Amino acid sequence: ELKVEQNPLFLSMQEGKNYTIYCNYSTTSDRLYWYRQDPGKSLESLFVLLSNGAVKQEGRLMASLDTKARLSTLHITAAVHDLSATYFCAVDKENSGNTPLVFGKGTRLSVIA
Amino acid sequence: DTEVTQTPKHLVMGMTNKKSLKCEQHMGHRAMYWYKQKAKKPPELMFVYSYEKLSINESVPSRFSPECPNSSLLNLHLHALQPEDSALYLCASSLRTGTGFGYSPLHFGNGTRLTVT
């Protein structure tokens, strides 16, 4: 059974600080997804990582994928309040690239002044 | 704005009611999904339709009945629900499912917030 584990589950960080969210998964998948969800809202796609060593950056967020370690990281640089949200990583259930996603439990990020 | 449209946005229903959730997309996607999300939890897969045929049912109770009338529409019929079924129901679509076709990301709708009283 595919398991996707995120840590930390809760993160409170000060504005301007850096931090990393980790996502471990149990299957040999080379496709990993990061989503953002604001309270009461749907899921917004942030990054899609499609191969080992993939690195993508958007603003203050940078995601990377190490398929050998079955690990993805989401790095936050110089956090701002607008980044407060829940972040989910997700993996294809059957590593086919087009199957349903299995989500991690999410990391609830709160950026405080 | 999302390209996957869900209606209604909010729904309150009693345990004896029958209601339906609707999802629509016009991106030419041939795979559509229902996910259920409880508060402060990740989305959980319920059903997958591929080319208008049910391909995955994640052991969902029969009080939830999906329907895919055509490639653009996906319904979720609700009957005799329990209070614990209250959740955010998310619809998603992707170009297709299956191997050999390359990468096809999921597009999520804004969800229907369901409350069962």
* DSSP codes, A31-49: -EEEEEE-TT--EEEEEEE
The answer to whether the CB atoms of A101 and B45 lie below 8 A apart is yes
pLDDT at B101 (0 to 100): 52
pLDDT at A100 (0 to 100): 75
Cα A18 from chain centroid (whole Å): 15
Q: What are the chain A neighbours of B31 within 8 Å (beta carbons)? A: 98
Find all residues with CB under 8 Å of A94, minimum gap 6, and list them: none
pLDDT at A46 (0 to 100): 93
pLDDT at A25 (0 to 100): 93
CA distance A29 to chain B (A): 13
N- to C-terminal Cα separation, chain B: 31
pLDDT at A99 (0 to 100): 62
CA distance B3 to chain A (A): 12
Q: What is the mean pLDDT of residues A38-58?
A: 89
Single-letter amino acid code for the residue at A102: V
* DSSP codes, A69-80: TTEEEEEE-S--
Pairing of strands A61-66, A55-58: antiparallel
**Helix, coil or strand: residue B30:** coil
The answer to whether the CB atoms of B96 and A98 lie below 8 A apart is yes
pLDDT band, residue A94 (cuts 50/70/90): low
The answer to whether the CB atoms of A97 and B101 lie below 8 A apart is yes
Assess whether pLDDT exceeds 80 at residue A1. Answer: no
C-alpha dihedral, A21 to A25 to A30 to A36, nearest 10°: -40
Q: What are the chain B neighbours of A43 within 8 Å (beta carbons)? A: 43, 90, 108
Q: What are the chain B neighbours of A96 within 8 Å (beta carbons)? A: 97-99
pLDDT band, residue A97 (cuts 50/70/90): very low
Percent of chain A residues topping a pLDDT of 70: 93
Q: Give average pLDDT by consecutive 10-residue segment, chain B, 117 residues.
A: 87 95 94 93 92 90 96 96 96 74 76 96
Find all residues with CB under 8 Å of A2, minimum gap 6, and list them: A25, A26, A27, A29, A91, A93, A102
- Cα-based distances in Å from A30 to A38, A46, A54, A75, B66: 27, 17, 10, 19, 31
The answer to whether the CB atoms of B42 and A101 lie below 8 A apart is no
pLDDT at A102 (0 to 100): 86
Q: In degrees rounded to 5, what are phi and psi of residue A38?
A: -90, 155
* pLDDT-wise least confident of A50-64, A87-101, B64-78: A87-101
